[in-house]
Chains A and B, each alone.
Chain A
Amino acid sequence: MFPVLLSEWIKVRTVRSTFITLLLTFVVTVGLGAVVCAVLASTWNTQPASERADFDATGASFSGIALGQLALIVFAVLVVTSEYSSGMIRATLGAVPQRLTLMLAKVLTVVGLVGVVSVLTAFISFFLGQALLGSHRTSLSDPGVTRAVFGMAVYMTLLALLSVGVAFIVRRPIPALAILMPFFFLVSPILNAVPKVKNVAHFFPDVAGRQLYSVHGNTDVPYGPTAGFFIVLAWSVGCVVIGYLLFARRDA
């Protein structure tokens, strides 16, 4: 297992797309979060009272993830699909024919790397956002805040895992991105605004993730952060398991 893990790590660190996509994830998430916080702070007095009452300073500093997650999805999808689009998957399986071992190594590599990037992104987004919020800020010692910040890192990592699973199912980069990006950026937010449908859409991974990384959470959504974590986990593990089952029996 260790040699395969090392080999997967070499693969990931020797292509430019890794740096570009992960840097973009970090910059967009932190940057957009900072802009949102700065704008909120300067327009605080014009905000409606109800907004001000249940203002979630932690969630506000994580606003950037709505866009930042797209770059993260691209990273995770490319780790898998570039093997197929370049034909390299045949070299990979020639070297490591044990497909379960191979997939585990890929998953662990992605989880490890994205885990580190996510923790950095979560904490820096948080501290920068709070600094910009000025007097409306919160701190890690307030109830639920530390959980929400780590929740952010966990959500990002699980999102990468989910994308790896989908990439193994779909194999080609464009279709995989064409499923994932609109889903997280458009479909889920829209369906969550439609009455009735939203009862189902509330269980989508991005909504569950938001419960995980905000302090107050969305009161419309019928579950809290712990359930949110398990819902995102179920989506990710589900996609990876389906991906593995297909990967194990398909021709490379």
Chain B
Amino acid sequence: MIEVNELTKRYGDKLAVDHLSFTIPQGVVTGFLGPNGAGKSTTMRMLLDLDRPTSGSVRIDGKHYGQLREPLKYIGALLEAKAVHPGRTAYNHLLWLAASNRIPTRRVDEVLALVGLTAVAKKRSGGFSLGMGQRLGIAAALLGDPKILMFDEPVNGLDPEGILWVRNLMKSLAAEGRTVFVSSHLMSEMALTAEHLIVIGRGRLLADMPMNQFIDQNSRSFVRLRTPQPEQLLDMLSRNGMTALQDRDGGWEVENGDMARIGDLAAEHRVTLHELSPQRASLEEAFMRMTAESVEYHTGGSGTGAPAQQDPKPEPAAAWGANWKKES
């Protein structure tokens, strides 16, 4: 079990991680979410004792990372930056890693096969594509058959097929009872894989809860209406105990409204409708709302406009999947 306690990291004036405390649950995929610059990578580097905390501590089953003997058998990590010498072959890279932790050499071939790099095992890693580099990093993380895995934005630079592969890999690792801690800045991606969620912004903890709790709290459903007769519509709704709020582009939103009933009422009251549609705010939107104040770098203007989806109540996961495809 990994426990992070009041972890703080300061780079000069910059407070990258600010009194962060959380515990990573065992045997499940935990998503570690935050906008760019939130401090995810910094936290992960401190978990591995690569960067020294300004204050606070990290304990892995009660131990400091530096006290672990043969740590690769315990915790495997894929970090943000490539950690491979470009002139060394994939096989040799894994070979020295294996030797350092007394991992049998045959395991090198196993993980190469597992990530699909067997054919290029004897090629220098400098010529690898982003995706191949990422696979080599994942192979290195899996080398010691560790019970804890940590991935910093593992889908970065992968094509859709690669993304699917990583997603399934993480799920199967958790299904084997391993702890998977994975960072991302895409809520939609996490919704597909993670069972638990830790959200940070500007180095501070914003949420630490099971995924479905986050979904329950944050997925708002409503009915959207459009009409050339707004007064009549509002009047009709209020007489039937419903309230509508105007949205950004002139439509009306009825929170938790019953679509069929609204349609019937409109027919009865002869209110013309140009739109009557069920809507569900995406988790991405909820996540952006949560982190809005803590976003480090705003890209000019459009900021938080993840579109609400047309969602005739399909399985939530499928809908978020569709959403993710649009965004990546």
Interface residues, chain A, with chain B CB atoms under 8 Å away: 3-4, 6-8, 10-11, 14-17, 82-83, 86-98, 249-252
Using an 8 Å CB-CB cutoff, how does the interface string of B56-85 with A read, 1 for contact, 0 for none? Answer: 000000000110100110000101011111
Q: Is the CB of B85 within 8 A of A252?
A: no
B140 CB-CB contact with A under 8 Å: yes
By beta carbon, the residue of chain B nearest A102 is: B100
Task: Name 25 interchain pairs, CB-CB below 8 A, sorted by A.
Answer: A3-B102, A4-B100, A7-B97, A7-B100, A10-B95, A14-B92, A86-B86, A87-B81, A87-B82, A87-B83, A87-B84, A88-B85, A90-B48, A90-B79, A90-B81, A90-B83, A91-B83, A94-B50, A94-B77, A95-B71, A95-B72, A95-B100, A97-B49, A251-B50, A252-B45
Q: Is the CB of A15 within 8 A of B97?
A: no
Q: Is the CB of A3 within 8 A of B100?
A: yes
Contact A14/B97 with A86-B84, A93-B50, A94-B50 known, Cβ cut-off 8 Å: no
Given the complex of chains A and B, what is the CA–CA distance between A11 and B100 in angstroms?
11
One of B45, B83, B102 near A86 (C-beta < 8 A): B83
Contact A251/B85 with A6-B99, A94-B72, A95-B72 known, Cβ cut-off 8 Å: no
Q: What is the interface size of chain B, counting residues whose CB is below 8 A from a CB of the partner?
A: 31
Q: What's the dominant secondary structure at chain B's contact region?
A: loop
Q: Is the CB of B66 within 8 A of A97?
A: yes
By beta carbon, the residue of chain A nearest B101 is: A95
A245 to chain B, nearest CB (A): 14
Contact A3/B99 with A14-B92, A87-B82 known, Cβ cut-off 8 Å: yes
Q: Is the CB of B92 within 8 A of A10?
A: yes
One of B49, B52, B87, B97 near A91 (C-beta < 8 A): B97
Q: Is the CB of A93 within 8 A of B49?
A: yes
Contact A88/B84 with A14-B95, A96-B100 known, Cβ cut-off 8 Å: yes
- In the assembled complex, which residues on chain B have CB atoms less than 8 Å from the CB atom of A252? 45, 50-51
Interface residues of B in 234-276 (CB under 8 A from A): none
Contact A93/B48 with A4-B100, A98-B66 known, Cβ cut-off 8 Å: yes
By beta carbon, the residue of chain B nearest A6 is: B99
Quick one: which of B82, B99, B140 has the most chain A CB within 10 A? B99
Contact A94/B82 with A4-B100, A10-B96 known, Cβ cut-off 8 Å: no
B26 CB-CB contact with A under 8 Å: no
Q: Is the CB of A3 within 8 A of B101?
A: yes
B89 CB-CB contact with A under 8 Å: yes
